[in-house]
Structure 1
């Protein structure tokens, strides 16, 4: 269920892909006016067929080819301004424990560069970090890549394949969901929204694919515990599954009824505040309210990386 307006895939510059789609539909692309006039006459079914023909997924970290755009009409301003000007809302926001596993293990095709196959190596992981920190965007890219490798591999043996697979999914999940979500939560709180933050930290091993060494909660793996539908393949609920379902549905039902996931008593799950910016509810068979929602990753990507980039601007080269 995780998503974020701050993510790289949320607001994609889709001009190139839109022209490719128009070409697939035999619409002229010499001007926006003629292209849009042609597209308006095309049925939804034909557009859907054309999207499937050109492929909806992008081969890079934008992940998708088509997304909302800030067009001055439907989205008149950037998300930050819209959030400040919109009526204040009460929000539940959260992510699964290992969001990136959806792409690296669960549905990562064998030929995808984001798939952690049996031969996934430290070199592969470092290549991925290079994509997260490209030379074209970061002045101090070499230093930042070294620090990123330390951030994710410092707590274990890089030669341990299971560790490497999990840290890869953590890094991908941090980039595409966790850190952008954290940014959104902070933005909402600064604009005086009420936000209840969670991490879905339960997984039935039966829900994992064969030969998955991690077996944790990946993207959309909380859906069965909310709607009793199984988008990633069905499995039989056990007693723990039933308990998590009751806990999760009760919290969201309370939120829908009262605007508070706690209901009218036992205020265990507190809203994020400006003083407690990363407090969240860990949802499992025995939920706990705790600090530190992806704190290390948020500090690295939101504080350390920009600080080092700013430092580089003041570095004075010594004369030869």
Structure 2
């Protein structure tokens, strides 16, 4: 039993050989955001008497499940979903201040997912046993998390305020779980990666933690903020027969009467619709939470140590619902070079990027076209954003930035979905399996190589959480990056002189100076020598900075 500021909680205990970890699941960190609290910032939870049983995950946020199996496996959904989970070692920490704290914010396109998918026992066994307290949090999804009228009536970004409220709860309560509130690292993946990066640079939240791990998504990705969200929200209101666009307060009053189920959205629907925005709803620059453009916020924020990266072929998972073609490649490039922003030279710029992706002699080769299409999907989705975030951070702040490309994968991780793919590789969500010890895209049994990757990745991630350095501390021999090489490998941070310096994470990890020089894939080695150098690619983009404005 643990006493928090709001009341006592009791969890359950997991036993692993000679170590034991306590799990407290479904702890409320805010009042239920229902009724009049819908479309409002979260408020602190009501204190309770007695002992609250926290032995199961709280309900997931409102979302549309893709299959009945999803609902059976992950539990019910509810608008009342502001719960967090704390996993804490039972042994005494090595320092009086307590264990380092590692917080995880899930992804899901700002529309779906929950803490449930990432588990409990595996977190306890593979993360907490490395001397960290782990906290997983939930937040409002879809329009419930981001609806805005564009004025002071409803500024939006409620999901970010939810995450900030969770961080405040951690600051106030984590000592009761033997955690150190002065040593908090926040990590997230995909939309969760964009979220934690925003939390690290935005004024309301950036002083509540100390290190950040944005994986496969960050605030510099094009989809991390939405420039036309007010119009999207008005269309949603109109779809629910609400037309008071000139009277924001009336519109919000009526929307509070709409059943929560009407707000359910699905990420899979978005992925399968080639015309849909990747993130139909997302954070917006509202002048209160996100006060300025991302590049400006990144420069003015104090700066904190960062571990950042993505997988070898992020775009591969995006093939669902999309047809590989030369036209498809140019369509993605056009998102980087819009005609209305470059009326005099947009075709020249697009063609220059196009020929960086594919050789002229390969344009009739369907396999090469597919690979080029996967590359541009990944570039638009994450690769350019991660490079931009790394470069801006190392230029603005004297903090270490550990950059990675996760290049290992097990073909079984694709499951039946792999039958629909032209080739297999590490893609969006692959690295999560080696942090949370189970498949995210598809459940599969780990072989010995998977277990090695799990130990390597969790060691590096927890080292970063504890010391701000994935290599650990020099006196701790076990903390050096595991490798099959004879000599231990040191993960070196990116620098202003070499901003693409990164670790290729595989069974034989290597430091590389150029990001995306080759496609790091297990069964995609027959590429006829095609090489996609993101260095050259970014030189084209960097000459036209308004692309990112």
TM-score (norm 1): 0.82
Which SS does the other structure have where 1:197 is aligned? strand
Do structure 1's residue 282 and structure 2's residue 282 form an aligned pair?
Answer: no
**What's the offset of the Cα at 1:221?**
1.3
Q: 1:88 to 1:3 in 2, by over 3 A?
A: same
Q: Which residue of 1 aligns with 2:355?
A: 150
Pick closer, same or farther for the CA change 1:223–1:156 going to 2, 3 Å: farther
Measured in 2, the distance between the counterparts of 1:259 and 1:44 equals 45
CA distance in 2, matches of 1:259, 1:25: 48
Deviation at 1:297, TM superposition (A): 5.1
Q: Is the CA contact (8 Å cut-off) linking 2:325 and 2:373 kept in structure 1? A: no
Q: Residue 173 of structure 1 aligns with which residue?
A: 378
Q: Is the 8 A contact 2:332 2:380 kept in 1?
A: no
1:318: which partner in 2?
none
Deviation (angstroms), 1:124: 4.2
- Normalised by the size of structure 2, how large is the TM-score? 0.49
1:1-320 to structure 2, matched below 5 A, reads: 1=189, 2-13=216-227, 14-27=229-242, 28-39=244-255, 41-42=256-257, 45-46=260-261, 48-49=263-264, 51=265, 60=275, 62-104=277-319, 108-109=320-321, 115-116=322-323, 120-130=324-334, 132-138=336-342, 139-154=344-359, 157-192=362-397, 193-208=399-414, 209-265=418-474, 266=480, 268-294=490-516, 298-305=534-541, 307=543
Q: Which moved more, 1:273-282 or 1:212-221?
A: 212-221
Partner of 1:313 in structure 2?
none
Q: How many residues align?
A: 296
Separation in structure 2 between the aligned mates of residue 302 and residue 157 of structure 1, nearest angstrom: 22
Provide Cα deviations, 1:250-275, integer angstroms capped at 9, x if missing partner.
10011111111001134711111111
Using the TM superposition, give the Cα deviation of residue 77 of structure 1 relative to its aligned residue in structure 2, in angstroms. 2.0
Measured after TM superposition, the shift of residue 103 of structure 1 is 0.6
Question: Secondary structure at 2:430's aligned position in 1?
Answer: coil
Relative to structure 1, the CA distance from residue 127 to residue 90 in structure 2 (aligned partners, 3 Å threshold; closer, same or farther) is closer
User: Which residue of structure 2 lines up, in the alignment, with residue 316 of structure 1?
Assistant: none
**1:143–1:220: structure 2 CA closer, same or farther, 3 Å change rule?**
same
Greater CA drift, 239-248 or 24-33: 24-33
SS at match of 2:236: helix
Secondary structure of the corresponding residue to residue 262 of structure 1: coil
Q: CA deviation at 1:243?
A: 1.1
* Alpha-carbon distance in structure 1 between the residues aligned to 2:541 and 2:300: 30
What are the ranges of 5 or more consecutive residues in structure 2 without an aligned counterpart? 1-188, 190-215, 475-479, 481-488, 518-531
Q: Deviations over 1:252-305 (max 9, x none)?
A: 011111111001134711111111211001111111111111366544443224
CA contact (8 A) 2:413 2:439 kept: no
Displacement of 1:59 in angstroms is 5.4
Higher relative contact order (CA 8 A, sep 6+): 1
Structure (1 or 2) with the greater helix fraction = 1
CA distance in 2 between partners of 1:196 and 1:44 (Å): 45
Distance in 2 separating the partners of 1:9 and 1:21: 19
